[in-house]
Structure 1
Amino acid sequence: MPTTPQTTDELFQALRENDRRPHGRARTVTAEELVEAAEQFEEPVPLIHALLELQEAYTYGAEPRKSPVVFARLLTLFDEQPDLFDEQLRHLLFWRFKWVANALRSVPEIPLAGLRQWLTEMRDRYEKAGLGLQPYYGQAYQLAVHTGEETTLAYELWASRTRTRLSDCEACETCDRGLYHLAAGDDERALDTLEPVLEGKESCQEEPARSVSHALLPLLRTGRTDRARALHLTGYRACRRNPSMAPEVGRHLEFCALTGNEARGLELLAENRTLFDEVDSPLDLLDFLTGVEVLLRRVEALGHGSLPASGFAGRTWTASALRAEVRGRAADLAARFDTRNGTTAHTDRRTTRLDRAPLLEELELTLRTRGLDDLAPDASPGTAAAPRTTSPLPETPAELITRSRELDEEGHPDAMACRARLRALAAEPGYTHPDDPAVGPLVLLRADLLADEAERAGEKDGFDEAVALFEEAAGLYEDAGAPDRAVLARAAAVLAGAGNVPGGEQDADAKTAALTAAHAEVVRLHEETPGLAPYQEARLLRIRATALGLRLQGTGAEEHVAPVLAEAELLEEFATRHDLALQVSGARLLRASTHALAGDLPAALAETDGLHGRLTEHGPAWHLPRTLALRARLRLGLQDVEGAHADLTEALRRAADWPAGPATSRLHVDMAEVLMHLGRPEEALRHLTRSAELDLRLGSRTDAFCTYSNAAQLSLDLGRVEECIALLDSLLAEPDVTAGEVDDRLVAQLRLTRARALRAGEDLKAATAECAALAAESADWDDDPGSHALIAAETAVLLGESGEFDRARQAADQAIAAHARGPRYEQLSNCLRELARLTAQRRGADGLADARAYLDDAARVAEEARAAAYEPQGRALDTALAYEHGRVNAYAGAYEEALTALDRALSLLGDPGQEQPHAAEWAECARLAGAVEGIYLERPLGALIRLDEAVSLLTALGHTEECEELEALATRLRDDE
């Protein structure tokens, strides 16, 4: 708390501000300080409010030991000065008798006699106050459930009574009734009872999250897996990191463990690591730890006990070590409750949960499907998974080195796995290099490994690193007496160096010059190095051709086409003469790509058709996926979407025969694009996530995050909001993301999509907080003011939707200032118009001046867009602005101004035309004009003429659906006459 309140007004303001904070230690500490501040005032009412806030903080902050103490002070104040408690305060006081009963049950040190004594006190107080006893019987039933006594009578005494104003909310009572049937083993009846809460028809602060957590396993047992999956996603987000909902978090962990989602369970455990130390309620902690143990027991049973796991603060845990610690603590808690209660209920319930067998071998919970193998230490960020091979690797180092070089000459995919194994062997402290002239010295092997590392760096656009590694490898090749290999490494370094030149518009000439120079340098190296083996000379020719191909790709210039085709022809002729099938294929692929870049798609397609036939007959078979992928892209360019889909289907089938690499990842991305063209977005989403998973396993994390970002946006577009949020939460929790090692703009895009998903999921508070944080961070993006403008604009709208109009104006001004340096015409115009609408709609006439100010800003943006010849992707800015003037003035009661603005909008729109979107916009504008004129200005005759003319015009153009609302309004006006 920045300053101590000096007046009661300041105290009440501070209490209101604290009430808006999420429950947790920060809110609780502030509540404690506010009680101390309230004690300085002679007037006791502020202290009553401060104590009520503190008790709520303790209750929902999972600190049950302190809640009864605070309530005792309130009860004393009530007994001494009952007149201080108005009707609302009196209601709160009697409501919280139940809170104290819950708190006392949660602490095993409180004797059972003390619990019963409190219930007697509650009953006596309620009877004396003339209050119904249903809430008392509800607490008596809860005590029976807690102790494990016979609950039937207690349930009937509670459930058969009429609810009162002090009864638990309907959602909570519905949950308790459902749990009664669940405890009796009747899953179907339990789920039927819980359904109103699960559907969101009944809710409160803890519901439906509490009911959802209990419904997950019954839903699985009754075969409703899709419902269980959906509720897990929504329910978990509602309770995560919340100390007062630690039991619910534990049940979600248990659900993961019993559905083959142990990896997701460990991920969620990490997200909730603070609960181990923040939950002060022994009963809640017991429930949470039992769920944790179910998960860890399953992880250990699957042979992954050595995996790292998040647990109690102060040390690093493995799954096995944490399980042992959790088991001891949870067993002790259960025993303490059972000792207090004189039963074995808590130990028995815990044993039942721990002994449950998995209900499903595998249930896909999120868009990011991972197994425990993916969490192994060698699968950490930045580390590529070990590549697989199509045949077993040789056993001895000598055989492995020989095999690696043979495969490298062929360009065989298995070479990658050989080199990975060699790299691991050479790095071992006790490695002994073979004394074999055929293998060569150790320095030759180290050069091979450096060259391989350089290639992988280049594939990830790490050009500086690639150049350095290739140059170092060239030096080692010279030392090893292999000048031919040194030349290849130096040629590769030259090409990588040209690739490092930025490729933006301002650097296009520099890039072109660099690639031209690179080609000349490789030609020089080629001409000055006689005696190369055919496969080496073919590689030099391939590098020469690639340099010119990249130049053409960057410029698209017609004069750059012929040189590439000439180099490709030279390469193919040489490769054919020496029977180098790999390079023949490479030359033809290059020629096909060149025709495509030159705009001759039919010629490119014919080239790939011929290459496909050759590869099918002569090989190499591992080039077929790449060829099919290129042919698919060409067919897509020629509008043959079905043909593209067939090619990619075959390419993926063929690729399954070879180690998955970047090319396979690209196949999935291409397939996703084709499926979107075919109107099959759900399948496209699956291919995007598959591509991202492959990139992660290859260590291409930036590519993976980019693809996952696209997948998240697609899932949001498809309305799969909770899956989108779960995916982004998972990505944003990755260690390299939290450590700031991933590009900040990419992370910002992930966070922005998450904010949009939260908004779509109606979590406006969380969406606003995320967007506001992003807006603050992006304010420093001097190199990218346009992105800040977009983020600030979205933040402004969210703040407006939250009713925080002052902050919304500040954010809008930030967006306008950033827009001046990096224009975002359409996004900013949309933002300003929406803020105008929200202001007028929420504040009416009082907000009209502010709303019009937003529209004036939007008018300036539209004028700037016209001057810049900007063409919006959506509605025309001037037309949309005129319509919004009409809507804003109508909300504020300025009806004549509204009608004038709407007529102007109709004039700007012109006739409805043949296009449906334009007709729909025109019809909506005509409808609103008719409503303003006929209803608010009370001129029904003019409105009817307007509406009838609009209907006739739309009908003549075939837009009958757009006429429906116009006809309905006209009917209403006629009926009112």
Structure 2
Amino acid sequence: MPTAAPQTTDELYQALRENDERPYGRTRTVTAEELVDAAEQFEETRPLVDALLELQEAYTYGSEPRKSPVVFARLLTLFDEQPDVFDERLRHLLFWRFKWVANALRALPEIPLASLRQWLTEMRDRYEKAGLDLQPYYGQAYQLAAHIGGDTALAYELWAGRARTRLSDCEACEICERALYHLAAGDDERALRAWEPVLAGKESCQEEPARSLSYALLPLLRTGRTDRARELHLAGYRGCRRNPSMSGEIGRHLEFCALTGNEARGLELLAENRNLFAEVDSPQDLFDFLTGVEVLLQRVELLGHGELPVAGYAGRTWTVAGLRAEVRDRADDLAARFDARNGTTAHTDRRRDRLDRAPLLDALELTLRTRSLDDVAPVAAPAARTAATVPDSLPELICQARAWDEQGHPDAQACWARLRTLVAARDYTHPDDQAVGPLVRLYADLLADEASRTGEKDEFADAVALHEEAAGLYDDAGLPGHAALARACALLAAAEIPTEDADGAEAKAAALTAAHMSLVRLHEETSGLAPYQEARLLRLRATALGLRLQTSGSEEHVAPALAEVDLLHGFATRHDAVGQIAGALLLRATTYALSGDLPAALTETDGLLDRLRSHGPAWHLPRTLALRGRLRLGLQDPQAAHADLAEGLRLAADWSADVVDTSRLHAELAEVCMHLGRPDEALRHLTRSAELDLRRGSRFAAYCTYSNAAQLSLDLGHVEDCIALLDSLLAEPDVTAGELDDRLVAQLRLTRARALHAGEDLKAATVELVALAAESAGWDDDPGSHAMIAAETAVLLGKSGEFGRARKAADQALAAHARAPRYEYLSNSLRELARLQAQQQGPDGLADARAFLADAGRIADEARAAEYEAHGRSLETALAYEHGRINAYAGAYEDALTALDKALTLLGEPGPEQDRAGEWAECVRLAGAVEGIYLERPAPALARLDAAVSRLTALGHTEETEPLTSLAAQLRDEE
């Protein structure tokens, strides 16, 4: 909105131009209203006409149909009173917008049908008086007939049979109307054939292809084109999200989700478009939107999730069932109002048809983030194997939990969880049973279990406190062995608490050494330990030294770690502790792996797997297979690694995610798949890994993995998948509330901006990058990242032709680069900016383009002084080539040729390697074109080209000779 009312017509037109850049919505509309008020102060009529046209556009595309006809009436009055003010362009706009008014009146059930027909008569009379063809009038007459319902064949023929005129709706809009006619007749195939130019992106306008895409989704499904439907859902939804004037389209996307087993995504999209409940002022658009919402909510409720929370009208909390009832009443009322106005039952019938549709597919994977309704429930329990024999009797339950806990059996977790719920109840009564023991012991058991789970989440300080509290309770219960074991766990957890020490690894290694010494002392000082308790203490001792080796990587720490493992293995063997024997063997294999002896680690793992398959315990199998998979990958055998990890993942399904780190298995399979050249499979594993982390509360890790998945999806060219995934993540509550790490969020947004750019949505990509550049300017601890973001922003601004803003962004990048050099990235960006400016502006842009190259030249000098090695060609070579290219664009051909000859000298003659040959050939080609075509010196140009062809042919680079041979032939033809 303007900070002050424009005082001159120049200021008014500048404000109108700025408002035209804003997205449609309240801000743009309110500003347009203010500019109309400002325009009325001027004596000239033309500024008022332009301001009124902008206001009508804001109302039309801001879903305010009640106001659009009022503005148009003023325009029509001005036209009648002062026709000379309206030049050819304004006359065209005025007569074009008769259709806008017809659309607006049709969308308002309070406007009588007679008034709609009267307006069409007015349109016809005006067109005839102006000598205009009536095809646009017949188009509106057909749309009114289709709106009312009944037989539309004659109205369709009167419109569709006429030739298009300059005032006809755009080709894309007319294609959509023809397709909808065939769709209403039940002919999906003919409708899709009619739609093809729009669906293929050959025809578009303000509302297209988003409108057509939303209508085409169900016909595509019904005709078996599921992949195409998925693709168009992703692209189409992005084109209309949060847009009040496209609320009907959003309703159809919600319906599509409901009919393809994607109810959870539908609820996610509904939440993202919650603003539409308040911002849609068009009854017709609202009717279409609410009906789509009801289709979704009806499906969710039918699946038994009526109590799920859902985003709805502001001011209260909604459940699916409650919002469905509200939406049903409002949509029924709208249908009744339209039908009463139209004298038909068309709107009620259309509503019933949509609500009566059965799902078209049980499940269609729409996005990389596939979730079910269970996943979006307030407490989404991860899928896990239910403990087979959890006793119902409380004393038996307590005894079973302890027995399984002693064995390390994973089903102990289900018992502890059940007991935690029972003990928390107000009416809990502890059994008076000597085998169960006192209540204080049960409290200690529950605390110890909670402490272990807390430590597994790397919340070590909390784990220490819980273990210490459990130890105190065990003391109170007269169980010194249990207390010692709890204190031992606390010692190890305390050693893992991160420190602020400058050398964190050294400090942690020292802490683990001290912890090991304390564990040994505690072990020696505690008498009366049960065998399972002593085995656990030995396991903790071995684990402490294994962690120390992992932290330090020191060879001197290998032998002590193996010695402790041997102690554990010997003790466990003597007492036939099956679980601890497996644990010792796993620790031994891991120790060899940490020492770098992968063959020895693999041998140990093979032996462990044989033992586990014959003696158990089975729950160690997935983890051991995962270790062998990692070892085989390290030994350059990705195929075998994939087999191990896949088997581990299959076996992991028998256990809960708390027992087997299924998320890590998926992540490791993704890495192996990349080694095998199977990126699509890798992508599936990455997304599954991330979603599992989300479900168990490891949100930072989940977002990091999803970030990698988004980047891989973009690398694979799956642009819409990438954008849909990132849109979903960025809408998560902890992201919108600012609770997630800001740099990670910035990375997600940066990838999204790049995906938008790749999807040719340059405007949206630029908006995102400009915002990121502004935010990253405050990253005093990371100026290098700001330099790269600002440089990337500058390039996008250059592609949009905004070179003034691009220059400012480039200056920001250079200032940050001075603090944290990014030589190659900045050089590449500056050269690209120079090329864009010279290419778009020709000679007028040459001076500014050269200024960008001068900056790139200084960076090349800095890089050379810092002995920086570029990844590809040298920065000097790239710079010389770019000087040649921008001078050629700007018509400075002699300068261009000099620069290209310098680039060829810097490149040197090509050799057998493939990469330099192509670069050298392209430089020769451009030099030949400048010299032979633009400088009109074909003889030396041909000599240059022929020599290059001979050189490349002799080296076997025949493919690189083709553009040179083609140019030479062109020059000879012109001689």
Q: Which residue of 1 aligns with 2:312?
A: 311
Q: Could you tell me how far apart the structure 2 residues matched to 1:18 and 1:579 are?
A: 80
Do residues 582 (structure 1) and 583 (structure 2) align?
A: no
Structure 2 contact 39–48 (Cα < 8 Å) conserved: yes
**Cα distance in 2 for residues equivalent to 1:562 and 1:675:** 35
Aligned equivalents of 1:426 and 1:48: distance in 2?
Answer: 76
Q: 1:817 to 1:457 in 2, by over 3 A?
A: farther
| Greater alpha carbon shift after TM alignment, 84-93 vs 964-973 | 964-973
Q: TM-score, normalised by structure 1?
A: 0.97
Query: How far 1:801 sits from its partner (Å)?
Result: 1.5
Distance in 1 separating the partners of 2:418 and 2:872: 54
2:469 matched to which residue of 1? 472
Q: Distance in 1 between matches of 2:439 and 2:961?
A: 82
Q: Which residue of 1 aligns with 2:192?
A: 191
- With the length of structure 2 as denominator, give the TM-score of the two structures: 0.97
Instruction: Identify if the C-alpha distance between structure 1 residues 417 and 129 changes in structure 2 by more than 3 Å, giving closer, same or farther.
Output: same
CA offsets, 1:501-529, max 9 Å, x none? 35997433222222222222222222222
Q: Letter of the aligned partner of 1:836 in structure 2? A: A
With over 3 angstroms needed to count, the CA separation of the structure-2 counterparts of 1:820 and 1:529, relative to structure 1, is farther
Instruction: Provide the residue aligned with 1:886 in structure 2.
Output: 884
Residues 692, 704 of structure 1: 8 Å contact kept: yes
**1:537 is the counterpart of 2:534:** yes
Task: Pick from 601, 604, 608 the counterpart of residue 607 of structure 1.
Answer: 604
In the TM superposition, what are the counterparts of 1:122-271 in structure 2 within 5 Å? Answer: 122-271=123-272
Matches within 5 A, 1:552-701: 552-661=549-658, 663-701=661-699
Distance 1:522 1:479 in 2: 22
Partner of residue 780, structure 1: 778
Contact 1:390 / 1:659 at 8 angstroms: preserved in 2? no
Q: Is this contact kept in 1: 2:385–2:653, CA < 8 A?
A: no
Instruction: Look up the match of 1:491.
Output: 488
- 1:947 deviates by 2.1
Are 1:387 and 1:417, in contact at CA under 8 Å, matched by a contact in 2? no
Q: Please name the residue that 2:287 is paired with.
A: 286
Q: Equivalent of 1:415, from 394, 412, 416?
A: 412
Counterpart CA distance in 2 for 1:149 and 1:825 is: 69
Once residues 264 and 348 of structure 1 are traced to their aligned partners in structure 2, the CA distance between those partners, rounded to angstroms, is 27
| CA distance 1:894–1:480, shift in 2 (3 Å) | farther
Question: Are positions 1:40 and 2:41 aligned together?
Answer: yes
Q: What aligned pairs does 1:781-796 form with structure 2 within 5 A after superposition?
A: 781-796=779-794
- CA-CA distance at 1:636 after TM superposition: 1.2
Counterparts of 1:362 and 1:139, CA distance in 2:
40
Q: Choose from 757, 778, 792 the match for 1:759.
A: 757
Which consecutive residues of structure 1, in runs of 5 or more, have no partner in the other structure? none
Offset of residue 351 of structure 1: 0.7
Structure 1 match to 2:521: 524
Structure 1 segment 820-899 matched on structure 2, within 5 A: 820-899=818-897
Report the AA paired with residue 852 of structure 1.
Answer: R
Mean Cα displacement is larger for which, 160-169 or 933-942?
933-942
Which whole-Å CA distance do the structure 1 matches of 2:442 and 2:871 have between them?
A: 56
Report the count of equivalent residues.
Answer: 973
Query: Deviations for 1:10-38, whole angstroms, at most 9, x for unmatched residues?
Result: 00010011011100111000000000011
Would the alpha carbon gap of residues 647 and 914 (structure 1) be closer, same or farther in structure 2, given more than 3 Å must change? farther
Q: Distance in 1 between matches of 2:909 and 2:423?
A: 76
User: Map of 1:357-372 to 2, 5 A cutoff?
Assistant: 357-372=358-373
The verdict on how the C-alpha distance between 1:511 and 1:73 changes in structure 2, with shifts beyond 3 A counting, is same
CA distance in 2: counterparts of 1:850 and 1:582, whole angstroms: 73
| Equivalent residue in structure 2 for 1:455, among 452, 470, 492 | 452
Deviation at 1:874, TM superposition (A): 4.3
Give the match for residue 723 of structure 1.
Answer: 721
What does residue 898 of structure 2 align with? 900
Q: What amino acid does structure 2 have at the position aligned with 1:326?
A: V
Tell which deviates more after alignment, 389-398 or 315-324: 389-398
For residue 387 of structure 1, report the CA deviation from its aligned partner.
4.4
On the 8 A contact 1:933/1:939 being kept in 2, the answer is yes
Letter in 2 for 1:618: H
Distance of 1:555 and 1:905 partners within structure 2: 49
- How far did residue 559 of structure 1 move? 1.6
1:750 CA displacement = 1.2
How big is the shift at 1:69? Answer: 0.4
Q: Which stretch of the first structure deviates more once superposed, 817-826 or 84-93? A: 817-826
Deviations along 1:224-275, one digit per CA (max 9) or x if unpaired, are 1111010000000001100000100000000001111111000000000000
| 1:399 has 2:399 as partner | no
Residue 962 (structure 1) aligned with residue 960 (structure 2) = yes
Work out the CA distance in 1 between the residues paired with 2:675 and 2:725: 24
Q: Which residue of 2 aligns with 1:114?
A: 115
Q: Is the 8 A contact 2:383 2:656 kept in 1?
A: no
What residue is the counterpart of 1:933 in the other structure?
Answer: 931
Shift of 1:50: 0.5
**Alpha-carbon displacement from aligned partner over 1:400-448 (angstroms, at most 9, x marks no partner):** 3222222222222222332233333333333333333322333333333
TM-superposed deviation, 1:887? 2.0
- The answer as to whether partners of 1:387 and 1:416 remain within 8 angstroms in 2 is no
Superposed CA offset, 1:672-709 (max 9, x none):
11111111111111111111122122222222111111
Task: Provide the C-alpha distance between the structure 2 equivalents of 1:914 and 1:611, rounded to a whole number of angstroms.
Answer: 51
Letter in 2 for 1:684: A
Letter in 2 for 1:407: W
Q: Which range moved further: 397-406 or 708-717?
A: 397-406
Contact 1:927 / 1:966 at 8 angstroms: preserved in 2?
yes
Aligned amino acid, residue 393 of structure 1: V
Q: Distance in 2 between matches of 1:538 and 1:860?
A: 66
| AA aligned opposite 2:154 | L
Q: State which drifts further: 96-105 or 445-454.
A: 445-454
SS in 1 for 2:379: helix
2:481–2:529 Cα contact (<8 Å) kept:
yes
1:330 alignment counterpart = 331
Change (3 A) 1:450 1:976: farther
Q: What percent identity do the matched residue pairs reach?
A: 78
The one-letter amino acid of 1:928's match is L
Structure 2 CA distance for aligned equivalents of residues 505 and 644 of structure 1: 37
Note the 1:9-48 alignment, pairs <5 A: 9-48=10-49
Distance across 2 between alignment mates of 1:402 and 1:904: 85
Q: Which moved more, 1:912-921 or 1:85-94?
A: 912-921
Residues 924-933 or 679-688, more deviating: 924-933
* 1:522-542 CA-partner distances (Å, limit 9, x unpaired): 222222222222222222222
Provide the rounded CA distance (Å) in 1 between the counterparts of 2:133 and 2:892: 52
Query: 438-447 vs 600-609, which deviates more?
Result: 438-447
Structure 1 range deviating more: 54-63 or 847-856: 847-856
TM-superposed CA distance for 1:875, in Å, is: 4.2
Contiguous gaps of at least 5 residues in structure 2: none
Question: How much is the aligned-residue C-alpha RMSD, in angstroms?
Answer: 1.8
Q: Say if 2:795 and 2:833, in contact at 8 Å, map to a contact too.
A: yes
Distance 2:870 2:545 in 1: 37
Q: Which residue of 1 aligns with 2:58?
A: 57
Aligned to 1:952: 950
Going from structure 1 to structure 2, the CA distance change for 1:338 and 1:366 (only over 3 Å counts) comes to same
SS at match of 2:916: helix
Q: Give distance in 2, aligned partners of 1:819 and 1:437.
A: 73
User: How many angstroms apart in 2 are the aligned matches of 1:728 and 1:409?
Assistant: 45
Farther-moved stretch of structure 1 (612-621 vs 315-324) = 612-621
Structure-2 residue corresponding to 1:797: 795
Correspondence for 1:919: 917
